[in-house]
A = this chain, B = another copy of it.
Amino acid sequence: MNLHEYQARHILKTAGIPVPDGDVASSPAEVEAIARRLGKGVVVKAQVHTGGRGKAGGVKLAKDPAEAQSVAGRILGMQIKGLTVHKVLVAPAADIASESYAGIIVDRSSQRPVVMVSPAGGVDIEEVVAKTPEKIFRHAIDPRFGLLPHQAMGLALKLYPGVEQARKAADILQRLYQVMLSTGASLVEINPLITTLDGGVEALDAKIVVDDNELDRRPEIAALRDASDEADSERRAREANLTFIKLEGDVACCVNGAGLAMATMDLVKFYGGQPANFLDIGGSSNPQKVVDALSIITADPNVKSILFNIFGGITRCDDVANGIVTATKQLKFSLPIVIRLTGTNEKEAMEILTANGFNAGTDMDEAVKQAVALAKQAA
């Protein structure tokens, strides 16, 4: 789960990391009031979960409260990469002496949280990694001992040769690791980490990505979710405990298991079709999940055919069959359905489906080919 910049800033500030003043607003009038309180030039930044806000016109400077209000009027409500801007952050325009990068990610190969710093801040860090890797400095944290002071200092000295600023940056890195632990984040990032003209070191922009698996035990973090920033279908899927990702094609896929779901999408493509979604109904076999899944799939007007691909293990095929029967009765859609079922209780499932007028097979390739053909017919 991504946090908004204003949420991440607040968390960093609470953890003792210097963050410039500022506040979040959802109307131009609020923006005007905040700008007036800050009492100098401000920056108004769209709060949406996507990169490239600046290029899209979602970040603007304003020299006074009136300009801030008018700028906010243009940003609020705008669309950035398909997401509507509902909130803006208003912060003082900073006196920036230098821009660096500081972040911690959980790294797969070292299996540790890895701190990365770079004096090349304020730009996309992946670009720095790709183009000037010598400007990236890394340290893999041993979680048994934490980020030790000298380790943080060693990194900080790569950013600032002056020991005073390095000490401040080292302190920020140690606190950033504490933020990672206390929020259950898989990524915490300050970009840019700036030095101010008076020698301070501050987090100008912050990003926190929380590990979804942490949300159950961190209700205070889970409460920060901004549902307005999710596609409607994905929100519904999340609430129904389904893993759903909308794609651009027309063959809807309803599969149990993430790997098989991806392989099914790939096979749709292989046979000349385009998958409309990724959808994993998971391991358990509650028929209601099938109903929820079909309801979400059929809400997409692009969908031309529906493909079920179920390999029964923990999932019982008869439960899925019952779900299909129930859903088609409840939802009253007219899209063609192709069903492939095999594994646990395959025979019972076939009987249920046949009794209700469905055809079903046991071969994945055949089913995919058929679903692709049906989508093409309908197009």
Interface residues of A (CB under 8 A from B): 144-145
Contact = CB atoms under 8 A, between A and B. Distances in A.
Nearest to A142: B144
Contacts of A144: 144-145
Contacts of A145: 144
Oligomeric state, in copies: 2
2 contacts: A144-B144, A144-B145
A71 to B, nearest CB: 47
Nearest to A146: B144
A152 to B, nearest CB: 18
Q: What 2 pairs across the A-B complex have the smallest Cβ distances? A: A144-B144, A144-B145
A317 to B, nearest CB: 38
A59 B354 CA distance: 82
A145 B144 CA distance: 6
A348 to B, nearest CB: 39
A109 B24 CA distance: 56
A125 B101 CA distance: 55
A145 B142 CA distance: 11
Nearest to A143: B144
A145 B146 CA distance: 11
A112 to B, nearest CB: 14
A146 to B, nearest CB: 10
Nearest to A145: B144
A128 B322 CA distance: 65
A116 to B, nearest CB: 24
A119 to B, nearest CB: 32
A144 B144 CA distance: 5
A144 to B, nearest CB: 4
A291 B228 CA distance: 74
A145 B143 CA distance: 9
A62 B145 CA distance: 50
A144 B148 CA distance: 13
A147 to B, nearest CB: 14
Nearest to A144: B144
A111 to B, nearest CB: 15
A364 to B, nearest CB: 43
A106 to B, nearest CB: 18
